[in-house]
């Protein structure tokens, strides 16, 4: 028997990702506050980065092109892609840093702030306009979910969660 899809539409799925990553950033902040050693912080930062890479890719491959077509607002979608590019630069920096680097925590916090800002703009602009646009957001759920599952299986930091 197939499991029912737990998402109302594409926006609901993508926003669930936003909320899950926000929780990971909160957990990371708690580890920093507790003075945790590098290994658990690095493991969590690795999960955060992997989740964001997967999320950005499904948006860029499936959601953004559909929204771009429906809204016919290239500037809005180009700005979202630019924000993704900025986040990917910080992710690459985190991934290349030594876990003992004194700037490690600050760089993860910087990524968190970038993501918070992007999510706010995405919710207020893209998601709101997509819900009011002549597009079928429900039909995007399955392709988004399938692609997310494919990408998640390729990410060691996320593969355990997908199983």
Instruction: Output the pLDDT for position 155.
Output: 81
Instruction: Output the pLDDT for position 46.
Output: 95
Instruction: Output the pLDDT for position 6.
Output: 79
- Within 13 Å of residue 39, how many CA atoms lie on the same side as its CB? 0
Dihedral sign, Cα of residue 135, residue 136, residue 137, residue 142: negative
pLDDT > 90: what percent of the chain?
Answer: 88
Q: How far apart are CA 146 and CA 37, in angstroms?
A: 36
> What is the mean predicted confidence (pLDDT) over 140-155?
93
Q: Output the six-digit token pair for 115.
A: 């993501």
- Tens of pLDDT, residue by residue over 38-85, are 999 999 999 999 999 999 999 999 999 999 999 999 999 999 999 999
CATH T-level assignment (fold) for domain 10-152: 1.20.120
- What residue spans define the domains of the chain? 10-152
Instruction: Output the pLDDT for position 129.
Output: 96
């Amino acid at each position: 028997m197939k499991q029912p899809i737990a998402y109302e539409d594409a926006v609901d799925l993508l926003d669930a990702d936003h909320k899950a990553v926000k929780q990971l950033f909160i957990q990371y902040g708690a580890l920093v506050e507790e003075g945790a050693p590098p290994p658990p912080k690095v493991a969590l930062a690795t999960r955060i980065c992997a989740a964001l890479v997967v999320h950005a890719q499904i948006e860029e491959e499936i959601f953004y092109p559909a929204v771009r077509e429906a809204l016919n607002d290239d500037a809005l979608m180009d700005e979202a892609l630019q924000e993704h590019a900025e986040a990917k630069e910080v992710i690459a920096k985190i991934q290349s840093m030594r876990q003992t680097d004194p700037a490690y925590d600050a760089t993860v916090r910087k990524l968190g702030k970038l993501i918070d800002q992007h999510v706010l703009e995405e919710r207020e602009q893209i998601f709101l306009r997509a819900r009011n646009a002549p597009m079928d957001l429900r039909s995007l759920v399955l392709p988004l979910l399938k692609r997310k599952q494919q990408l998640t299986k390729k990410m060691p930091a996320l593969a355990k969660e997908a199983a």
